[in-house]
């Protein structure tokens, strides 16, 4: 397996960088991430002179790339999606799905785009799960270096049918936020989302680490908000998140909150930071 290094981002490569994933994919699996991307980054795509988006590691079937284009175009009608896969057989299998604004290319973390184009957004869902935690920073740096000015990298993990999803949003300067998203009716407690933490955080869900403290406090706020469940599970979620905001730097607007999302500043959850790990 060819693991990228920080210095490798400046070297030309003769073959795709990375390793083949399991390729598990289902229709509508990434809907929560797609809706968040469209809501928070749709304006930037709409204003861009070259609104190209990369679906990196789309897997054994092209559904996620097809769906991403459809959702993005509700906010940015000129958006284009390029599905990038390291397995050439998967690229060949996706070709029949190409259409206006949708193409597929063979590649990996080098993100090969024709004509030297740079993407306004790279989505990498369920790609880094099989990598070592120590590889994540180098992969993030490499992908962020490929972004166009004002671009965004969204990297995270979800369950097989997209009920629970956690992702990190990064700019060229590095990670900015972590978003937890769930189908509220499937949730027993917020810490159920721990199993879908991205690779940078999943091994840090232990006492003394900020992400562990965050999920612990979220569970406590959820328990305290139990009386609101008589109104609806959504009202319970909203109340729990509002209580959580007293101690954690959240970055949500009311609409996103109602979708079963909560977004936290990365600095508060960064591994080893000690912030709020009380």
Q: Give the pLDDT mean for 31-49.
A: 96
Q: Which two tokens stand for residue 43?
A: 């304006």
Q: Considering only CA atoms, which of 242, 255, 64, 217 is closest in space to residue 154? A: 64
Q: Domains in the chain, ordered, with CATH?
A: 1-172 (3.40.50.150), 182-278 (no CATH)
Rounded Cα–Cα distance for residues 239 and 80 (Å): 38
pLDDT surpassing 70 at residue 22: no
If you average pLDDT over every residue of the chain, what do you get?
Answer: 91
Q: Give the pLDDT mean for 127-154.
A: 95
Band (23; pLDDT cuts 50, 70, 90): low
Residue 10: per-residue pLDDT: 40
Q: Considering only CA atoms, which of 131, 121, 127 is closest in space to residue 108? A: 127
pLDDT in tens, 57-83: 999 999 999 999 999 999 999 999 999
Is residue 108 a contact partner of residue 145, using CB atoms and an 8 Å limit?
Answer: no
Rounded Cα–Cα distance for residues 244 and 250 (Å): 8
Band (20; pLDDT cuts 50, 70, 90): low
pLDDT surpassing 80 at residue 16: no
Measured CA distances, 214 to 49, 85, 176, 222 (Å): 39, 35, 16, 12
| Three-state secondary structure call for residue 56 | strand
pLDDT in tens, 214-225: 999 999 999 999
- Greatest extent of the chain over all pairs of C-alpha atoms, in Å: 60
């Amino acid at each position: 397996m060819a693991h990228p290094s920080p210095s490798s981002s400046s070297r030309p490569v003769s073959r795709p960088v990375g390793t083949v994933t399991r390729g598990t994919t289902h229709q509508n699996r990434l809907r929560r991430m797609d809706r968040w991307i469209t809501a928070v980054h749709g304006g930037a795509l709409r204003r861009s002179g070259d609104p190209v988006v990369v679906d990196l590691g789309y897997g054994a079937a092209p559904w996620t790339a097809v769906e991403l284009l459809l959702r993005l175009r509700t906010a940015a009608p000129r958006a284009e999606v390029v599905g990038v896969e390291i397995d050439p057989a998967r690229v060949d299998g996706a070709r029949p799905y190409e259409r206006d604004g949708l193409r597929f290319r063979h590649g990996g973390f080098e993100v090969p785009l024709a004509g030297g184009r740079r993407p306004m957004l790279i989505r990498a869902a369920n790609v880094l799960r099989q990598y070592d935690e120590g590889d994540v920073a180098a992969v993030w740096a490499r992908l962020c270096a490929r972004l166009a000015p004002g671009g965004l990298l969204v990297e995270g993990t979800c369950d097989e049918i997209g009920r629970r999803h956690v992702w990190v949003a990064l700019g060229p300067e590095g990670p900015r936020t972590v978003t937890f998203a769930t189908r509220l009716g499937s949730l027993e407690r917020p810490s159920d989302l721990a199993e879908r933490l991205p690779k940078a955080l999943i091994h840090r869900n232990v006492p003394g680490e900020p992400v562990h403290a965050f999920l612990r406090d979220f569970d406590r706020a959820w328990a305290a908000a139990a009386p609101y469940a008589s109104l609806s599970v959504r009202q319970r979620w909203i109340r729990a998140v509002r209580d959580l905001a007293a101690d954690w730097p959240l970055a949500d607007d009311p609409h996103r909150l109602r979708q079963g999302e909560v977004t936290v500043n990365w600095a508060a959850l960064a591994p080893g930071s000690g912030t709020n790990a009380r």
